[in-house]
Structure 1
Amino acid sequence: MSVVIRTTEVSDDPRLRDLLDAGELERVQRRPNPVPFITAHALLRRLVADETGVDPRRLEFEKRCATCGTDRHGKPHVTGMRDLHVSVSYGEHMAVAVVTRMGEVGVDVEDLESADFDGFGSVTLDESEAVHLEGLTGDALLAARARMWSRKEAILKATGHGLVVDPSQVVVSSPDAPAALLEWKAAEHPPGPTQVSDIDVGREDHRAAVAVLTSHPMSIRVQRG
């Protein structure tokens, strides 16, 4: 099976809410702006349904935290489908979901504006990565930041660590080079062979990436909608 990625614009279509289960709807109630969450989780359900033939409303998801072992948070898994790996990411404008059988997977999408803050380098970059941004300004700088940030987030989602691991300890390739995990400096156990790829989500103001814990080359299919 290839890595299947689906992207969509955030939508307030009321029919999307009907796809969510009781647990997801409870989380919806706690959000001041639930539309991105609803869009993303409906997108994931529809993607898994299309790849497995199961009604999206009948799918059940569980969470497992790689750090503490709890099921109250962590990366999502489809109940009863242990060989199927999924991930989802969203922001104010875009949502991205992925499904694969190749190995644990992570996906991340970033608006360029999310990388527009003082101290970005000290928070997210290793010294060896900071040199790649020297001389960049304006949108070129934000695009490079967002690209590197999305790669790091995708990797940390795939490992299940999330931001428990300092992103500056996850060294990725230059933003103008093919996506890759170059070095894992964190104290947590390294993930082993990891494939990383940038994703074109169809918007110039976003960058996205996917990571799979596998030694095999990824065959990626990107779908819109």
Structure 2
Amino acid sequence: MVSQLVVRAIPPFLLSGEAGQVRRDAETVLDASELARARAMEPAAGDGFLAGRLAQRLFAAELLAVPATQLAASYTCPRCGAGPYVSHGRPGYLLGGVPAPLALSLSRAAGWTLLAAVVDPEPGLRLGADVEDAARTGFDGFPALALSAAEQHSLRALDGRDLLAARARLWARKEAWLKMTGDGLRTAPSSVDVLARPEIRDLDPAGTGLPARLAAAVALSL
């Protein structure tokens, strides 16, 4: 049986005044490395980080049908390696001391959290997901920084909101791809063309629960 991709959008928690509850839940559920990383941030950023990590852990626990407290964070970074003190990189969890059968990706934009997962993934499966706010693509240097020559050419006839939306779509596809490969922003974004990669697909905001102003994409490959 082919494993299915599951995608879920989580709305901004701070709008509901839930920051205090998030911190209390985090102390109960999250690992020491995650809590330490949040404490090193500005309060608002730390609360957002905790909300995202809580959402991801609860999402994973639901998909695996286990209590969230049975999961231990197990992140992998190409430079830092893996272990209980690594709180960044490719997300994953240990369950009973062994890797949980789950591929995960998380992205945040405009307070929203986008979660993607594949349960019981085939060996070697890689996953990346990203969500982007079109309003953040309007600065003058964006094309040279983020887009390949072909991508810039594809947007030449657009302007205004249509241009910003198209930029956000390409940036979401690019970030999803770079998360999937594990390269991240160590690779110059302008050197990666994502116009026509079959491993990437755009996510319809209506289908994920995201607001229409946000663009989202997922990349999936063996």
Tell whether the structures are fold-level matches, with TM greater than 0.5.
yes
1:212 matched to 2:212: no
Aligned residues of 2:31 and 2:73 also touching (Cα < 8 A): no
Name the residue aligned to 1:15: 21
Deviations for 1:188-217, whole angstroms, at most 9, x for unmatched residues? xxxxxx621112243121111111123xxx
Other structure's SS at 1:10 match:
coil
TM-score scaled by length of structure 1: 0.80
Rounded to whole Å, the distance in 2 between the matches of 1:16 and 1:210 is: 27
TM-score scaled by length of structure 2: 0.81
1:115 matched to 2:137: yes
Q: 1:43 aligns with which of 42, 55, 71?
A: 55
Deviation at 1:135, TM superposition (A): 2.4
Residue range with higher mean Cα deviation, 135-144 or 14-23: 14-23
Percent identity between the two aligned chains: 33
Name the residue aligned to 1:54: 66
Name the residue aligned to 1:187: none
Deviations for 1:119-172, whole angstroms, at most 9, x for unmatched residues? 111111111111111121221111100100000000110111100111112211
Name the residue aligned to 1:151: 173
RMSD (CA atoms): 1.8
Structure number with higher relative contact order (C-alpha < 8 Å, ≥ 6 residues apart):
1
Deviation at 1:98, TM superposition (A): 1.2
Other structure's SS at 1:131 match:
helix
Name the residue aligned to 1:198: 202
Name the residue aligned to 1:98: 116
Structure 2 unmatched runs, 5+: none
Residues matched between the structures, number: 195
Higher helix share: 2
Aligned residues of 2:22 and 2:47 also touching (Cα < 8 A): no
Other structure's SS at 2:70 match:
coil
Name the residue aligned to 1:2: 4
Other structure's SS at 2:140 match:
coil
Structure 1 unmatched runs, 5+: 174-179, 182-193, 215-225
Q: 1:69 to 1:21 in 2, by over 3 A?
A: closer
Deviation at 1:82, TM superposition (A): 5.5
